[in-house]
Amino acid sequence: MYAVTKRKTIFPALAGLLLLFATLLPPTAAAQGRTLDAEDVEGWYGGVLGGFPFGFSNTSTSFGADQTRFGWTAVLYGGYRFNPVLSLEAQAMWGKVHMTALDDYRGLWLGDDGRPYEAPQSGMDGWAYDHLQSDAALQRYGLQLNVNVLGFFPRTRYSRWSLELSPLLAAVGARTHYRDREGGETLKTFGRRWHLGAGGNLQVNYRIGRRFIVGIYTNAVCLTGKKMDEMPHLSDRANIVWDTGLNLGWFFGKGKHK
């Protein structure tokens, strides 16, 4: 019940992104033709992604008990499209997620020894979960295979629209800080930990003219190893970054056509 209630807060953000995507398409887009030439499908491309990530762990989440905490991501990517269906791209991402304790941990106390207690312990430094925020600065470097579902069908094979499902494999680095949720003071800093990340991406893109690409995306990446919020855990049920945002790209092509 908790997870369902808190995740409803993302719907206004997604609606805003869809509205912004719609406004980016000029009124003349329909007049530019609905299909591309076959020679404009294969070739090199690159661009940037910008979005809002959310973190999920089994102790904390970006959908906190008091409010939703938006992070940020910026991604540089480049790749090659082999045909109307498949493309392969490399990505480099930087960003930050903000997480606070779940309801089950409110009222507890986190000792400096990394264990939760029901009350502060004499002679030990620690923090109340209610006042603790975990900020993780992220880096991600990986490869993504894009499968354009519309490319399987003759009528949409050369459409300006693409609907892509994309498995992703990456190395993800997280450097985490404990902060005071109200004052913003840094309480404790951890060294960067590297994780193997595996996940998937769903994106919808539109080609304006021959070169310019605009779209929206959403993805989820599961991380192996220690939790990115650096808080003690009673199970291994979640260590996930969910990111949603905008795509702006450029198609370079294969060079001069004969």
Helix (H, G, I), strand (E, B) or coil at 252: strand
Residue 245 lies in a domain: yes
**Distance (Å, whole) CA 149 – CA 12:** 27
Residue 220 lies in a domain: yes
pLDDT digits (tens, 9 = 90+) for 179-204: 988 777 888 888 999 999 999 999 99
Mean pLDDT score across all residues of the chain: 83
**Distance (Å, whole) CA 88 – CA 65:** 40
pLDDT digits (tens, 9 = 90+) for 114-164: 787 888 887 788 888 888 889 999 999 999 999 999 999 988 899 999 999
pLDDT digits (tens, 9 = 90+) for 206-256: 999 889 999 999 999 999 988 888 887 666 668 999 999 999 999 998 865
Q: Are 208 and 40 in contact (CB under 8 A)?
A: no
Helix (H, G, I), strand (E, B) or coil at 9: coil
Residue 30 lies in a domain: yes
Q: What is the pLDDT of residue 121?
A: 81
Q: What is the pLDDT of residue 234?
A: 60
Residue from 233, 132, 228 nearest 184 by CA:
132
Q: Which backbone phi and psi does 150 adopt, to 5 degrees?
A: -70, -20
Residue 127 lies in a domain: yes
- CATH code of the domain covering residue 191: 2.40.160.20
Residue 258 lies in a domain: no
How many structural domains comprise the chain?
1
- Buried b / exposed e over 51-73, threshold 16 CB at 10 Å, is bbbbbbbbbbbbbbeeebbbbbb
Residue 49 lies in a domain: yes
Residues whose CB falls within 8 Å of the CB of residue 8, separated by 6 or more in sequence, listed in order = none
Residue 223 lies in a domain: yes
pLDDT digits (tens, 9 = 90+) for 72-102: 999 999 999 999 999 999 999 999 999 988 8
* AA letter at 257: H
Residue 158 lies in a domain: yes
pLDDT digits (tens, 9 = 90+) for 6-32: 444 444 555 455 555 545 544 444 334
Q: Are 221 and 51 in contact (CB under 8 A)?
A: no
Residues whose CB falls within 8 Å of the CB of residue 95, separated by 6 or more in sequence, listed in order = 53, 71, 72, 73, 74, 137, 138, 243
Task: For residue 224, give its domain range.
Answer: 2-253
pLDDT digits (tens, 9 = 90+) for 54-75: 999 878 889 876 788 899 999 9
Residue from 54, 59, 77, 74 nearest 136 by CA:
54
Q: Residue 115 corresponds to which tokens in the numbers above?
A: 């264990």
**Distance (Å, whole) CA 88 – CA 78:** 9
